[in-house]
Structure 1
């Protein structure tokens, strides 16, 4: 959606297939917030993006400077962007502010995400590299990933979503990485003993929400139009 030039929104620097940027976009979409989306490529990082966050990785959310201040407000961690969006507006109760069936708290959710982000993500990168470079330790790294996938499969045997029968922050935070896992060895994955995980993932991948979040836009540096997400 194009927006008038004089309308001011927070600016989200994003990369379409980056899992961290993807989960930030998912949370923004779920929260019904509106941001100006700037799709970039990391081989040609915009100067404005590097000024906002010198580490130069996406996602980066930039707010207009407050009156009289030269300092930009910047959020440059994907989970922090998710929390900003959902703490501003959480119509689906993804943060569990209302009581959750299993008594899960936000702290429990953040703990689950942190474990996944540190342990599973490391194993996933090794698994992807082993497949890409035809290394002989592919099975070893796949099995390391499966230790985490099996935990999620067991949870999904008990309820519709990862934490309970209600969708939560954990689902949309883990979704982009599980999507990557499913794509490494596609044929193996389709026959692997994880039917509940496949159903959970397919429900997301086939949803209108995912299609909108994954819409391909022109790169910001190559286009004159401003794009709104949300």
Structure 2
């Protein structure tokens, strides 16, 4: 989404993780997705930065730092960006492990489904509260935070679609 909003031209390849192409294995020691390999005319933000970006957030920040026509890094990006990155990091650190555990518990019909979902709900409630106060998670305009958290919300919603449709997180569902 950030690449699209930043109007960055990239080549997107569908990767089957059980049959990784040689180019991926050469580009990234991790060999997991996402991976963005910067071409010769796509410069890293800083001279000592890698030419291969392997984290979604790094890719988003790189793209928006190149071109941010929608102001997703904020009006005053030098002050707002560190706050946004901190918010995203805290959310991800709290939510992602619970989300993965919840997904596994649901898939294998374990008896820990409800407590694990409730652990995720603590973060959803935090987002719902912010969205009650503001149109978007970081204020009145869409920001990097909204784009970065969307895949987590989408993944959570897909684990138990019926429950999510009926859950009291009206604003989060509208993301």
Shift of 1:63: 2.3
How do residues 124-139 of structure 1 correspond to structure 2 at under 5 angstroms?
A: 124-139=99-114
Structure 1, unpaired ranges of 5+: 1-25, 67-71, 201-230
Q: Distance in 2 between matches of 1:173 and 1:39?
A: 21
Q: Counting strand residues as a fraction of each chain, which structure ranks higher?
A: 1
Q: Distance in 2 between matches of 1:134 and 1:60?
A: 33
Q: Distance in 2 between matches of 1:185 and 1:156?
A: 22
| Range that drifts further, 184-193 or 81-90 | 184-193
1:73 aligns with 2:12: no
What is the total number of aligned residue pairs between the two structures?
Answer: 166
Q: TM-score normalised to the size of structure 1?
A: 0.69
In structure 1, what is the equivalent of residue 169 of structure 2? 194
Bigger relative contact order, structure 1 or 2, given CA contacts below 8 A and separation 6+? 1
In structure 2, what is the equivalent of residue 179 of structure 1? 154
Q: 2:140 aligns with which of 165, 169, 173?
A: 165
Local SS of the residue matching 2:11: strand
Deviation track 1:78-114 (CA, whole Å, cap 9, x = no partner) reads 1111111000000010001x249xxx71111000110
Counterparts in 2 of 1:65 and 1:89: CA distance versus 1, 3 Å:
closer
In structure 2, what is the equivalent of residue 62 of structure 1? 37
How do residues 24-173 of structure 1 correspond to structure 2 at under 5 angstroms?
A: 26-65=1-40, 73-96=51-74, 98-99=75-76, 105-173=80-148
Local SS of the residue matching 1:38: coil
Please report the RMSD computed on the Cα atoms of aligned residues, expressed in angstroms. 1.6
Counterparts in 2 of 1:89 and 1:171: CA distance versus 1, 3 Å:
same
Shift of 1:65: 4.8
Q: Which runs of 4+ in 1 moved over 4 A?
A: none
In structure 1, what is the equivalent of residue 46 of structure 2? none
Shift of 1:31: 0.1
Q: TM-score normalised to the size of structure 2?
A: 0.90
Q: Distance in 1 between matches of 2:15 and 2:160?
A: 28
